[in-house]
Structure 1
Amino acid sequence: MALDTIPARFFARGQAHPDKPAYYVRRGGAWRPFTWREYNDQVRTAARAMIGLGLQPGQGVCILAYNRAEWAITAFAAMAAGGVPAGIYTTCSAGEVQYIVHHAEASLVVVEDRAQYEKLAAERDHLPGLRHIILMQGAPAIDDPLVLSWEQFLARAAAVPEAALTERLSGLREDDTSTYIYTSGTTGPPKAVMLSHKNILWTTDVLVRLIQNSPDDRLLSYLPLSHIAEQMLSMHGPACCGHTIYWAESLERVPDNLKEVQPTVFFGVPRIWEKFHAAVAARLSQVTGPKKKLFDWASDVARRYHALATRGRPVPLALQAQHKLARRLVFTRLKTALGLGSARACVSGAAPIAAHVLEFFTGLDVVVAEVYGQSEDCGPTSLNIPGATKFGSVGRPIPGLEVRLGEDGEILVRGPSVFKGYYKDPAATAEALQDGWLHSGDLGAFDPDGFLSITGRKKEIIITAGGKNIAPKNLEAALKESPLIEEAVVIGDRRKFLSALLAIDRAAAAKWLVGQGQPADEPLHENPALLAEIGKWVEKTGEQFARVEQVRKFKLLPRSLSADQGELTPTLKLKRKVIEKQWASLIEAMYEGAD
């Protein structure tokens, strides 16, 4: 019996459906399909080329690029040749790139363009093991003896027989490390999560069943492929069930690509859904008269319909008929304009999302299901699914996983998706894996129906000067429910009271000021009217919490928090230590003279 590995699944898909489109690339204003036969051939050629360049089994291959076909081809080829692919976020600095390439012991790095190449060039003296830098298709030539164009790279396959690749493939084992997923590093250098072929394939098979994926599905790949969630959707899912991937042209072009592709399954991080929410809400605020009455009726119907359907409860025939009419009169056109006209499954993950955003989309006839997990268990720990969805929760544990809470409320996970450990980091591995249980570092709670909610992050607990333990995420989520607040960072560790740094949504703030009959002049963060309005919201938000958990002071930041400034991870999680250092003067100003 053939061993079940990722390359085995990938090549089997090509043999079973050679003429079916595997992926699409937009060129010359049109989407060009590539079949599974072509995809298989591309990976085989790239794998042989890697062997020709001296790649040894178990050796790392780094990829530094935005989502595109060559990213997936490189990753599958590295696995097929016995190597271990490791994606690097394009937002990483030269120092961060050097750390990962060196840590992964990669002699071969595939880059998107000159800008990413320059990061390697800047750290060349600290990369003694680097032997080859491969440019993806379309990148201008670079005069460097280490650099190969994509065509020159593939040409190296000519000297390597198919038998050499067959031998590498036959040497793969289910428990071998298939990939390194480098964590975002919110508290220090990134750690390399080692996932086996078995880890990923078991998880993929479960997800395919839960989301009810089929070969007829199509997805737009646009979130970083360095993240396990996007790899599951854009690489391993297609290899296992055959759905088609459209590679987004760029992040800037995602809204246009989304409307062109109309994916059947769409995954977004909370910030994506929040941007959708802001754009649609702004458009709806301008609707008046009969059109507004029609929308309000349709929205009410959708909310009542999904309040039952998402919980698996019977929907009365009269409400079913109203829902069908609302779709025909309102929602089909509205969702198509967003690019979600064909979406049957919409998912949010990687960070918490406000419940009011999810409820807003329900009123648009779009059910966004929240998922929770981490790289260390291949992405999903729990998931809301059709007929078993509860807003404000991250769903029930996926079948086959054991999930329980430790004495301190920490979420513990055991099962086939749990990782092998951290590469070259036995101490961190021993801390994360204890008696077969993955210690997630997240705090949670189960409701009577078995739905899991995330209540905080264990290492981010604030301990005030009075000794009170406070989870900042709950406060931050509540503060961000204001359309004026883009990001919130609660401060207070070893302090006498809680304060907050607030990044404003500049477009929403400007619009609010104009609506108040005031000029939206810069600097917005110093505008007295805006400060007063946000102050009222902070005070109102505090009413939901105990006195010790209330934010007593806040400061508006002069700009948004960003990954480029090192304040957010590539998946938009807060880097609290960086933020506190970056804005130390503002923080101290809130505590000056405090009693």
Structure 2
Amino acid sequence: MREFTAPPLDAAPLVGGLADAVFEHAERDPDRVALGRKDSAGHWHDMSSAQFRDEVLALARGLLASGVRFGDRIALMCRTRYEWTLFDFAIWTVGAQSVPVYPTASAEQVFWTLYDAGVSACVVEHEDHAMTVGSVIGRLPLLKRLWQLDAGAVAQLVASGAHLDDEVVHRHRRAVTPDSTATVIYTSGTTGRPRGCVITHANLMFETDTVAGRWASVFRARPGDEPATLLFLPLAHVFGRMVEVAAVRSRVKFGHQPVLRANVLLPDMAAFRPTFFLGVPYIFERIFDAARRRAETEGRAGPFDRAVEVAVRHAEARELRAFGLGPGPSAALRVRHQFFDKAVYAKLRESLGGRVRYAMSGGSGMDRRLGLFFEGAGVTVFEGYGLTESTAAATANPPERPRFGTVGRPIPGTTVHVAEDGEVWLRGGHVFSGYLGDPGATGAVLRDGWLATGDLGSLDEDGYLTITGRKKEILVTSSGKSLSPLALEARVRSHPLISQCLVVGDDRPFVAALITLDQEAVAHWLSVRHRPPLLPAELVRDASLEAEIRRAVVAANTLVSQAESIRTFRILAFPFSEEEGLLTPSLKLRRRAIEEVYAAEVDALYP
């Protein structure tokens, strides 16, 4: 049992609401570039803080004219795009509450969120979303309005509110206090029905101001260099939402990108040229894999792999020096690092726009070696940890002393406690006020001001937290051996050909795994070996591919004891998808659902 507290920052007292920053920034510096927007031709254009303020104000007038009142809940169902941010701040301006809905949600998921939250209006992106809401609208007696972005919803609302005086809007805005509810965010629901987490304006202000203040080197660019970030995480997820609010409050230019695929994301990164970005480990894995494939295509796989090794060794030596455990990189290592910086690392940074020096990662654990590689390549990735219930990050690696492979230390004003059974407990100003309409569930996780996370972890002597698993996901084999599958799955997944890995073995005689392939990586792997493309059914029977995957499994098994190692595995023809209900929108595995869908394949692992 161990506990660690980080003292709070010396910050101004929290007053008002989140929308105030939009109006204050426009008043102080109206010409400052606040956002970048991409037009239909793919070109980015700047938007000033005054322009953003005017659009928020106009939309807020429209909401009031349409009957939205203080405390009403409005659902937002769309991808990561400018209009989401516009609606968020317009909703907060009139004292209403936003309720995010994932754009991939099924009709029943949409129904539950809108019904449980009691929303009175819903904003959707396009006709398919409108039809999804329409299919359940008969069971939603409180839902009175449905606005569709691609059908001109913003223009219609602005026109409807043109006759209202600005002072009507400001009276609503001034009535918002820090303890007012800002948003109700529903958990991803890896098990059970999602619950609505009530997040206040104070929660988001504390979280974003603390993160931006403690990681000022990230949120403030070098002298003469404008700080900027590109939002591509789902804004329905608390991590993406936190970044949105932090960018507005910290006066960081930001843009929106709705597609997470590397072949779409990287060109926009190059065009937008952010100074930092926030992602999940999957994004960093795909960026690395894309760079590796490009080098292999150009016949430079060997130099690239040597560059990776040098980057990892250089970063590890710097890490040891930061903790007083070593002298730092040797002269010979520094020379090799400088050579590869020009030959390899600079090209990686250029693919991200050329200005990125920092990134933040959350959502799940990142492989230590991958973090060391990015650090050695000149992009420091600060890994952190948090939940919807903690308004995103509760811990993160400090800028001066990151410890790769951990999720860092408590953010300022936060206490992390590891209970006797290994469960991580949190306390701080970012902890939510409870689950909407569910005091029983609230009481189960909020205990005398502490949030019991359900995650297992350990704190080292310096206060760095390592997450080892979920209490509900511990596997117990029929021989009584207990293990957490997360670290083993992450190590298997680090192989460039592997997309996903699900470790099984609960009540079974040994541990096994279901593995899916990265289709783009496999196509490249076949191409460089001058082999024709294979159909999915052929891939799972290909002997050489199976041998390659087996090497990845054997390497992962070196992390654990023999009793915990993966004895056998099955390669699946298709990856787990969100559309099939096998992944959460934040790309976490829905274990129970996967094991049900692939019950025959799991049974075949245990003849």
Q: TM-score, normalised by structure 1?
A: 0.91
Cα distance in 1 between the residues matched to 2:239 and 2:35: 18
Cα distance in 2 between the residues matched to 1:486 and 1:385: 30
2:387 to 362, 371, 374: 374
The match for 2:27 is 15
Cα distance in 2 between the residues matched to 1:32 and 1:14: 18
Query: Cα gap change, 1:200/1:403 in structure 2, threshold over 3 Å: closer, same or farther?
Result: same
The match for 1:119 is 132
The match for 1:240 is 249
Tell me if structure 2 keeps the 8 A contact 1:310–1:390.
no
Letter in 1 for 2:462: D
Tell me if structure 2 keeps the 8 A contact 1:303–1:362.
no
Cα distance in 2 between the residues matched to 1:472 and 1:302: 25
Tell me if structure 2 keeps the 8 A contact 1:331–1:365.
no
**Which string of whole-angstrom CA distances, capped at 9 and with x for unpartnered residues, describes residues 450-506 of structure 1?**
211111111111122233322111221222233232111111222222221111223
Query: Cα gap change, 1:466/1:383 in structure 2, threshold over 3 Å: closer, same or farther?
Result: same
**Which string of whole-angstrom CA distances, capped at 9 and with x for unpartnered residues, describes residues 282-326 of structure 1?**
22335568x966994797268426631686368689689859954
Query: Cα gap change, 1:319/1:103 in structure 2, threshold over 3 Å: closer, same or farther?
Result: farther
Tell me if structure 1 keeps the 8 A contact 2:184–2:196.
yes
Answer yes or no: is 1:300 the counterpart of 2:310. Answer: yes
Cα distance in 1 between the residues matched to 2:89 and 2:426: 28
Cα distance in 2 between the residues matched to 1:153 and 1:310: 57
Query: Cα gap change, 1:12/1:315 in structure 2, threshold over 3 Å: closer, same or farther?
Result: farther
Matches within 5 A, 1:451-530: 451-513=464-526, 519-522=532-535, 523-530=538-545
Q: Aligned residue pairs: how many?
A: 581
Letter in 1 for 2:181: T
Answer yes or no: is 1:24 the counterpart of 2:36. Answer: yes
The match for 1:186 is 190
Tell me if structure 2 keeps the 8 A contact 1:261–1:339.
no
Cα distance in 1 between the residues matched to 2:603 and 2:315: 50
Farther-moved stretch of structure 1 (373-382 vs 248-257): 248-257
Letter in 1 for 2:80: N
**Which string of whole-angstrom CA distances, capped at 9 and with x for unpartnered residues, describes residues 191-242 of structure 1?**
11111111111111111122212383101111111112112212x1133211
Cα distance in 2 between the residues matched to 1:408 and 1:295: 41
The match for 2:6 is none
Deviation at 1:360, TM superposition (A): 3.0
Farther-moved stretch of structure 1 (545-554 vs 423-432): 545-554
1:268 to 260, 279, 284: 279
Matches within 5 A, 1:211-230: 211-212=215-216, 213-214=219-220, 216-230=226-240
Cα distance in 1 between the residues matched to 2:199 and 2:248: 17
SS at match of 2:575: coil
The match for 1:146 is none
Query: Cα gap change, 1:488/1:164 in structure 2, threshold over 3 Å: closer, same or farther?
Result: same
The match for 2:203 is 199
Gaps in structure 1 of 5+ consecutive residues: 142-148
1:88 to 79, 86, 101: 101
Cα distance in 1 between the residues matched to 2:508 and 2:308: 49
Answer yes or no: is 1:71 the counterpart of 2:81. Answer: no
Tell me if structure 2 keeps the 8 A contact 1:23–1:33.
yes
Cα distance in 2 between the residues matched to 1:302 and 1:536: 21
Tell me if structure 1 keeps the 8 A contact 2:16–2:174.
no
Cα distance in 1 between the residues matched to 2:141 and 2:134: 12
Deviation at 1:9, TM superposition (A): 2.4
1:401 to 414, 429, 432: 414
The match for 1:144 is none
Cα distance in 1 between the residues matched to 2:506 and 2:345: 49
SS at match of 1:380: strand
**Which string of whole-angstrom CA distances, capped at 9 and with x for unpartnered residues, describes residues 548-575 of structure 1?**
2122222111101111111101110000
Matches within 5 A, 1:29-108: 29-108=42-121
Tell me if structure 2 keeps the 8 A contact 1:299–1:363.
no
Letter in 2 for 1:243: V
Cα distance in 2 between the residues matched to 1:537 and 1:31: 41
Between the two proteins, what is the percent identity of the paired residues? 31
Indicate the structure whose relative CO is greater, using CA pairs within 8 Å and at least 6 residues apart. 2
Query: Cα gap change, 1:248/1:456 in structure 2, threshold over 3 Å: closer, same or farther?
Result: same
**Which string of whole-angstrom CA distances, capped at 9 and with x for unpartnered residues, describes residues 402-450 of structure 1?**
0010111111001111110111111111111111100111111122332
Query: Cα gap change, 1:293/1:485 in structure 2, threshold over 3 Å: closer, same or farther?
Result: closer
2:578 to 563, 581, 590: 563
Farther-moved stretch of structure 1 (63-72 vs 476-485): 476-485
Cα distance in 2 between the residues matched to 1:249 and 1:514: 30
SS at match of 1:238: helix
Tell me if structure 1 keeps the 8 A contact 2:581–2:593.
yes
Cα distance in 2 between the residues matched to 1:64 and 1:431: 29
CA RMSD between the two structures = 2.7
**Which string of whole-angstrom CA distances, capped at 9 and with x for unpartnered residues, describes residues 527-566 of structure 1?**
2332244334434433432232122222111101111111
Cα distance in 2 between the residues matched to 1:579 and 1:292: 38
Query: Cα gap change, 1:189/1:310 in structure 2, threshold over 3 Å: closer, same or farther?
Result: farther
